[in-house]
Amino acid sequence: MQRAHVLPLNYFATDGIEHFDLWDGYSITKRRHNIPALMGNSLMGEAFGRHDKEEMHCHYWLEYRYQFDPFHPGVCKGIGTKPDQLGTKIDDVERTMKIIMYAMHIAKKSKTGYTWVLGLTESDPPFIDYLTNLSTEVYLSGENAIEEIRQCVWTKSQLEELKTLSKRISDLFNQPRSKKEYHRLTRAIAFFELACCTFNLDISFVNFMISLESLFNTDRAEVGYKMRSRISYFLEQDDPHKRNELANTIKKLYSFRSDIVHGEGLAKYGETTAKEYIYQVESVIRDVLKKILHSDDLTEMFCLNREKLGVVFDTIVSGVPLSMWKSTVGEKSGHCKSAKSTSPPPSPSQ
């Protein structure tokens, strides 16, 4: 029996694409049913309550279609997956949907948000027999609504990048690791998602900065200087002019961060300046995460321990090409493998 888990996407549109396959049974599909009506038919109208924006602003949903086995109700197998591929736990489907949303916010700046995961039967009309609230919502600010709505439109090439990023992030979050091990790349992604889904400007900015620090800070000495030099060389090593401009931007952003955590922030800079700084830091961390996630080599680099990564950054800042980082620490390929694990990935709230 076929079933589906769907995650309605608020403020998401495409330039004419009605269905886009991601991987392993996950896809983005134009919504086929009236969500409040399905809720009412399934006796869940009261649970739906004030979340009627699911119908007003939702034209697409993230979908996982799977084969339901009544003898193993907690396990499902995605439609279109390989015959020898193992089934997936229902809880892992929800985690993977959240990971795809992490990738969505990294792939491009948009206000796409989500609230409910619904379980649909194959009947016509479908019956909702499962519902859970993931409690992560992103709203339009109202001030630049036209531009924000335009940002919610995805092209085919952007969806292809989303497919690549979401699969890589899923592999990263599912790597086997001990509870004591600090995984700086997955932690940076989690803080980035927190920043995207936080309405308070100060807190959003600080979470973006923490995301950057998770990647580039390896000790407590000269943190501000090391952050701006390491980030600027990482992104603009071959262009001195752009590198200096970026270093000055990071210096300014780090000063704003210090003011926020020491009790000033908006009161000192004003809301307009604060929003400008948030836009700048979000752009920087998005560029950083994309550059890492699109490269096996750089993904491996950020799996190094604190001491080795510090050595790599020092040599890059001294002028050694980023592509030669392995020679600086005598590292061999395969340090960070994309192995599957049964342990759940950390959520942005952790």
**Does residue 334 lie in a domain region?**
no
Claim to verify: residue 135 and residue 213 sit in the same structural domain: no
pLDDT at 123: 66
The answer to whether residue 178 sits within a structural domain is no
Do 251 and 165 lie in one domain? The reply is no
Q: What is the pTM of this model?
A: 0.83
Judge if 128 and 216 occupy the same domain: no
Looking at the structure, do residues 87 and 7 belong to the same domain, yes or no? Answer: yes
For residues 291 and 283, give the distance between their C-alpha atoms in angstroms, rounded to a whole number: 12
The answer to whether residue 201 sits within a structural domain is yes
Residue 102 counted as domain residue: yes
Q: What is the pLDDT of residues 56-99, one digit of tens each?
A: 567 898 998 877 666 666 666 666 555 445 556 777 888 899 99
State whether 219 and 312 are in the same domain. Answer: yes
Do 131 and 232 lie in one domain? The reply is no
Q: Which residues of the chain have pLDDT under 70?
A: 1, 32-57, 68-88, 121, 123-150, 177-182, 265-267, 331-350
Q: Which residue from 110, 107, 109, 151 is spatially nearest to 294, judged by alpha carbons?
A: 107
pLDDT at 4: 81
Q: What is the pLDDT of residue 332?
A: 59
pLDDT of residue 23: 84
Q: What is the model's pLDDT at position 343? A: 39
pLDDT for res 301: 94
Look up the domain containing 281 and give its range.
184-329
Do 153 and 190 belong to one domain? Answer: no
Residue 313 CB contacts under 8 Å (≥ 6 apart), including other chains? 216, 218, 226, 230, 233
Integer Cα distance of 149 and 139 in angstroms: 11
Q: In this structure, are 162 and 189 located in the same domain?
A: no
